[in-house]
Structure 1
Amino acid sequence: MAAVEAEHQNRADETDEISFKDGDSDICQQLMDRYAKSSASQHRHLVATAAAMRSILTSESLPPSPPAYFAAAISSLDSSTEDPMAVSALLTFLSIVVPLVPDGGISAAMAREAVGVLVKPIDGEGEKKLGVASLRAGVKCIGTLLVGFCDLDDWESIRIGFGSLLKFSIDKRPKVRRCAQECLEKLFGSLLSSTVIKEASDTLYALLKEHKSVLSELSSKKIVEGSKVESALKSENAEAAHVLNVLSATVPFLSAEVSSCVFSELCKLMGSQFSPLTRQILKAIDTIFKSSEDTVVVPEIEGVITSLTGYVSLHEKNPADTVLHVALLFFITRTWISYLL
C-alpha cells in the first residue's frame, strides 16, 4: 500500500511539473489528451474535474479560456471544502490554470477573494485531509495570485495569503516548505510599498520572536564534528530551524529596521561551538552583509565580531567548512568597520 501511495504521489508531482500550452488551447482538452488513458486515480479525478469545469463554461456560454476556467474552479472549490478528493483535484487543476492566465486576466479584487478561498481547504483541519501534492498545489496557487494579480500596495489585500505562505514556509513536508519559501521570496521581491514592506517584515520578525526560545536552545546544543545535524533536530523544533532558512531567503527585502533586529538576533544565536543551527546562522548573516549596504551599524558589527572570534578560537572543535566561512565573514566585518568609520 505504501508503495502504491508513493507512486501516486510521484505521478501527482509529475502533473505539477509538466507545462501546458496557454493561448487558445483548451486546457481541458490538453488534460484529456494527456491523462485520459492513465490508471492513476488522481489523473482520473483531474480529468473529470476539467470536464466538469468545461461543462460549466459551456452552460454559461463562456469561452474555454484560462480566466474562465479559473473563475469556475474557484467557485467550485468554495463549495467543495468538505470533499477532500474534490478539493485535491480542484487544487491541482487550479495550479495548472492560474499560471496560464494572462496579465490582467484576474482583477485584484477577485484575486484577493480567491486567495481567501484557497486558504480555507489547506489550513486547519482541512490540511490534515490533503496529501503533499495537493497542499503544494494550493500554496503554489496562492503565491502566483499574490505576486501576479493582487494589489501589492495594499497590505490587507495580501495579508491572509502572506500568512499562509509564511506558515507553510516552515512546514515539516519538504516539498510544501520549499514551494512556500520560493513563493514568499518572489512576493517579497515584488513589494514596492514601504508600508507593505514594513507590515510583511514585522510579521516575519514576529515569527522569529515566536521561535526564539527554541532557537536559543538549539544554538546552545553542541554537536561533535562528524555527527549528523538532522539527528539533533526533533520534529517539534524543526519548525524553528526552518525559520532561519526563511530569513536567508527574504532578508534582502526586509525593512531596514527589521533587518537590523534580525541581525542582532542572529549574533546572539551564534555560539562559539558548532550547533544544529550554525550553518543556517552563518548563511543568514552572510546574506545580510551582501544585501544590507549601509543599514548595518557599527555596534551590531562589533557584536558579530565577538561571536565570530569566539567560534574561530575553538577551530579545532568546529567543522573546517564553518571555520572557513566564519573567517571570511570576520574579514568582511573588519572591512565594514573600516568603511563605516
Structure 2
Amino acid sequence: MNKLRGLSWGGGAGVVVFALWGVIHYGTPVRFLPAIATGIVAAGLPYGLARLNRAITRLRRRLADPETGISAEKGSVFVSKSSIDDPVETLETVRDAVKRDEEYDETEREAFEEGPGLSIRHGGFHNTFVRITRGGRVVVTGASERTADVRDVVGDACSLTFDRTRENPFQGLQPIKGAPRVFLGVFIFTLLVAGTAAVGAGAYPTDAYNPAERVVLVGIDVQGDVDPSVSETDTQLSKASFLADVVAEGETEVRWAQNDSELVAQQGRNALRASNDARRYLASARAGSPTSEQLERADRIERRLRAAEQSVAEALSERATDGSIPEENATKLSRLGDRFESVERPSGDDGDATTTERVTRLAPHARAVAF
C-alpha cells in the first residue's frame, strides 16, 4: 500500500470511527455528520480521482480516430473481435505458428496477472506480447512496427480478426503522480484535520472554545473511555484543570486584543464561559465519590482557577480604564470584569461542595447588569 492510499484510507477511516464514537458518547448524531462526511471524502478521494481520470481518458480515446496520432513506436494494442474458448490451446497454436516463422527470434511462455500468455522477441530486443483477457479476447501489444505482423500471424493461426485500439484492456487505474500527488496529499491531510476539528465542534458546540481546545477536551473524554485506570472523576478533574489554563490564557487574549471593544469583550466572555464550565466539572467531581487525592487535586485546580479569574478581571478593568476603548464600551467591559468577581466556590476549608457561597465585590445594581 502506498503512502497516499494509507493516509487517505487510514486517516479517513479514523475520522469516521472518531465521529461514530462521538455520536455514542455525546449523542445528537446530526452534529457529527460533517465529520463523518469529511472522513468518507478523505478515504475515497484518491480512488475517485483515479476513476475520473480513467473515465476521461477512455472517453477521449473512444472519440479519437484509432489510426490517427498513434505510432507503432509509442505502442500498439490490438484486441480480437471475438473470444476464444481455450486459452492454453490458443497460445500453443500461436507459439507453433511463430516458431515456424524465421522472422522471430524466440517465443516464451509468460505468466501474467490474468493468466498465461506469450512473449515474442524479434529484431534482437523488441518484444510483442500475446495475452488473453478474462473474457476470452486475445490481445496483442508491443512497441514496434512488427507488432502488426504478429497480429497477422495470430489472426491467421487462430482465425481471428483484430481491432486496433488506444485502450489497453489490461491497464488498470493509474495512480496520480508528480506534483498533483503532493498537492492531493496535502489536501487530504487538511481534510483529516478538518474532520477531527468537526468532531470537536460536534462534541462541544460553543464559540467559547477554539478548535484546538475542543479537540483537547474530546481527547480527555476519549482517554476516560478507553483507559480503565482513568475514572469519571479523573476525567472531570482533567477537563477542569485544562479549562483553568484556558481561563488563564484569557488574560493574555484580553491584553493583546486591539482597540476593538467587541473583540476584547468576546475574549472576556469566552474566559467566563470556560470558568463556568470548569466549576461545573469540579462540582461534578466532588459530588461523586472522590478519593482524598482527588479532593486535593480539585482544591489545587480551584485555587488555580480562582487566580486565573482574578487575572482576567484585572485585565478587563485595565482595558476599560486605559483610554483605548470608548467610554460607553469601557463601562460594559468594567461590568464584564466584575462578573468574574461573582462566582460560586466551595465554602469552608474542607472543600465541601454541598454548600456554596457567592463571593462578590459588586454593588447590587451593578450585578444586575448583563453584558
TM-score (norm 2): 0.26
Higher-helix-fraction structure: 1
Higher RCO, 1 vs 2 (CA within 8 Å, ≥6 residues apart): 2
Larger radius of gyration: 2
TM-score (norm 1): 0.28
